């Protein structure tokens, strides 16, 4: 059922929600916008997107997996995980919500990644429709509707407040638990806002990005294209694009010798790095061209090939604003579609 939250009652909503569980909200700090735990007095950002995506909540940058304590001939194995509590992430945009479906395909498919699953089970996604999409947005190229995000609870800004709707049982239970802050509303209360958002999205230049060159079954056609050489020349191998990307999911596992045992942890890795997937015999991708190609072939060919046509990009545009060399997935797609001489 649709509910309505008056603009002036937004703080009441956060106070009520954060009394139930930790609620993370986007907050501006200097040049970046990051999620922080809500507390009274905090100013929630009005910017379109956080600098890093909400994937950090489910797949953090570093994470302890297991500890081994050595005592003489005995080895004690310790699971460092603590009892997890419910939490909510507020203001997740449609592109980032879709990224969870992509991460789920990787981490919730057998063998299930129990570290990720536990966070997904305890996390509540409160999404927000994009009333002010940016020129760098192209979620619509991947079939995502910025006006009607997925999520457990969806907020849509209207003229004087927010239309609020639960999309899952978890979301329904959450809204019921803080029912006092809302008013009941007609089901069509968000329609006008949605229409405006879709009109803006339809005018964005990147929304028409041509995907026909890509998809499952295109490996042979694309792997040896000469354009990879010129495209990859700009790449500094800094890995920024992978770290801001909501769908990049690669990690490395390392052991840290504590002197009386070992702590095993995982941390994000990047296929743009020269030591990525390095094995005893060396690295299978010897040049930056090969590493660069891997990142885009994975998102545009290998992932859809293995996942019913779903691309490994959600068009969030973060790589368009973050790359120090102004290289990004849009340039790659356009170049490979138009050919070397364009
Ligand atoms: S952000 Fe740009 S320069 Fe850095 S690894 Fe990605 S494509 Fe290369
Ligand atoms: S490749 Fe770029 S636009 Fe696509 S999801 Fe990743 S950061 Fe966003």
For the stretch 11-46, pLDDT in tens is 999 999 999 999 999 999 988 999 999 999 999 999
Number of domains in the chain: 2
156 assigned to some structural domain:
yes
CA count, 13 A, side-chain hemisphere, 149: 31
| Beta-bridge partners for 339 | none
CA angle in degrees (0–180, nearest 5) for 63-67-71: 160
Mutate to test the pocket of ligand 2, among 318, 320, 322, 326 (most ligand atoms within 8 A of CB): 318
Q: Do 162 and 306 fall into the same domain? A: no
pLDDT band at 194 (very low <50, low <70, confident <90, very high): very high
Q: Do 15 and 67 fall into the same domain? A: yes
Please say if the pLDDT value at position 342 is more than 60: no
Q: Do 56 and 180 fall into the same domain? A: yes
Q: Do 179 and 328 fall into the same domain? A: no
Question: C-alpha distances in angstroms, 323 versus 24, 234, 240, 304, 328?
Answer: 27, 10, 6, 24, 7
Report the atom number in ligand 2 closest to the C-alpha of 314: 5
Length of the chain counted residue by residue: 342
Domain boundary among 155, 188, 208: 208
Q: Do 128 and 264 fall into the same domain? A: no
Q: Do 277 and 335 fall into the same domain? A: yes
Residue 279: its pLDDT value, please?
Answer: 86
Note down the domain range covering 286: 219-340
Is the distance from the beta carbon of residue 330 to the nearest atom of ligand 2 less than 6 Å? no
Is the distance from the beta carbon of residue 91 to the nearest atom of ligand 2 less than 6 Å? no
Is the distance from the beta carbon of residue 317 to the nearest atom of ligand 2 less than 6 Å? yes
Least confident of 193-202, 270-279, 328-337: 270-279
Is the distance from the beta carbon of residue 103 to the nearest atom of ligand 2 less than 6 Å? no
Q: Do 63 and 158 fall into the same domain? A: yes
247 assigned to some structural domain:
yes
Q: Do 274 and 186 fall into the same domain? A: no
b/e map 151-166, b = 16+ CB within 10 Å: bbbbbbbbeebbbbbb
Report the atom number in ligand 2 closest to the C-alpha of 299: 1
213 assigned to some structural domain:
no
Is the distance from the beta carbon of residue 207 to the nearest atom of ligand 2 less than 6 Å? no
Please name which ligand lies nearest the alpha carbon of 240: 1
In order, the DSSP letters of 75-111 are EEEE--PPPP--EEEEEE-HHHHHHHHHHHHHHSSSS
Q: Which residue has 């941390």 as its token pair?
A: 267
280 assigned to some structural domain:
yes
Is the distance from the beta carbon of residue 300 to the nearest atom of ligand 2 less than 6 Å? no
Q: Cα of 291 to ligand 1 centre, how many Å? A: 11
In this prediction the pTM is 0.94
Domain boundary among 208, 231, 259: 208
Q: Do 204 and 236 fall into the same domain? A: no
CA count, 13 A, side-chain hemisphere, 241: 23
Q: Do 13 and 61 fall into the same domain? A: yes
pLDDT band at 340 (very low <50, low <70, confident <90, very high): low
Is the distance from the beta carbon of residue 294 to the nearest atom of ligand 1 less than 6 Å? no
289 assigned to some structural domain:
yes
Residue 341: its pLDDT value, please?
Answer: 62
88 assigned to some structural domain:
yes
Q: Cα of 234 to ligand 1 centre, how many Å? A: 8
Is the distance from the beta carbon of residue 325 to the nearest atom of ligand 1 less than 6 Å? yes
Q: Chain centroid to CA 2: how far?
A: 26
Report the atom number in ligand 1 closest to the C-alpha of 238: 4
Q: What is the mean pLDDT of residues 68-93?
A: 94
pLDDT band at 274 (very low <50, low <70, confident <90, very high): very high
Is the distance from the beta carbon of residue 236 to the nearest atom of ligand 1 less than 6 Å? yes
User: For 147, left (φ over 0), alpha (ψ -120 to 50), or beta?
Assistant: alpha
Is the distance from the beta carbon of residue 241 to the nearest atom of ligand 1 less than 6 Å? yes
Q: Do 274 and 191 fall into the same domain? A: no
pLDDT digits (tens, 9 = 90+) for 99-116: 999 999 999 999 999 999
214 assigned to some structural domain:
no
Domain boundary among 180, 208, 236: 208
Q: Cα of 193 to ligand 2 centre, how many Å? A: 26
Q: Cα of 240 to ligand 1 centre, how many Å? A: 6
Q: Is 196 helix (H, G, I), strand (E, B) or coil?
A: helix
252 assigned to some structural domain:
yes
pLDDT band at 339 (very low <50, low <70, confident <90, very high): confident
Share the mean pLDDT of the chain.
95
Q: Do 169 and 75 fall into the same domain? A: yes
Q: Cα of 111 to ligand 2 centre, how many Å? A: 26
Both tokens assigned to 233: 């020349």
pLDDT digits (tens, 9 = 90+) for 213-246: 999 999 999 999 999 999 999 999 999 999 999 9
Q: What is the mean pLDDT of residues 54-59?
A: 96
């Amino acid at each position: 059922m649709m509910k309505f939250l008056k603009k002036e009652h937004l703080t009441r909503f956060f106070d009520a929600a954060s009394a139930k569980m930790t609620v993370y909200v986007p907050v501006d700090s200097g040049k970046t916008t990051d999620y922080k735990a809500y507390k009274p007095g905090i100013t929630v950002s009005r910017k379109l997107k956080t600098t890093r995506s909400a994937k950090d909540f489910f797949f953090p940058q570093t994470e302890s997996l297991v500890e081994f304590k050595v005592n003489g001939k005995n080895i004690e194995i310790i699971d460092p995980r603590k009892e997890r509590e419910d939490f909510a992430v507020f203001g997740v945009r449609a592109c980032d919500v879709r990224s969870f479906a992509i991460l789920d395909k990787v981490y919730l498919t057998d063998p299930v990644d129990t570290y990720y699953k536990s966070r997904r089970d305890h996390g509540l996604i409160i999404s927000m429709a994009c009333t002010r999409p940016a020129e760098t947005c192209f979620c619509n190229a991947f079939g995502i509707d910025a006006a009607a995000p997925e999520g457990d609870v969806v907020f849509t800004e209207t003229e004087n407040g927010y239309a609020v709707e639960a999309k899952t049982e978890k979301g329904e239970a959450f809204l019921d638990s803080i029912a006092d802050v809302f008013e009941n509303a007609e089901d069509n209360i968000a329609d006008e806002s949605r229409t405006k958002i879709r009109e803006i999205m339809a005018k964005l230049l990147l929304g028409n990005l041509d995907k026909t060159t890509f998809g499952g079954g295109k490996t042979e056609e694309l792997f040896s294209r000469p354009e990879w050489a010129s495209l990859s020349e700009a790449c500094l191998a800094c890995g920024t694009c992978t770290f801001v990307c909501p769908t990049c999911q690669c990690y490395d596992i390392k052991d840290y010798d504590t002197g009386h045992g070992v702590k095993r942890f995982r941390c994000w890795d990047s296929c743009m790095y020269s030591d990525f997937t390095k094995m005893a015999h060396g690295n299978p991708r010897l040049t930056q061209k090969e590493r660069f190609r891997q990142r885009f072939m994975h998102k545009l060919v290998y992932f859809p090939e293995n996942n019913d046509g779903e691309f490994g990009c959600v068009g969030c545009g973060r790589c368009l604003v973050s790359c120090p060399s102004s290289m990004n997935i849009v340039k790659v797609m356009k170049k490979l579609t138009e050919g070397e001489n364009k």
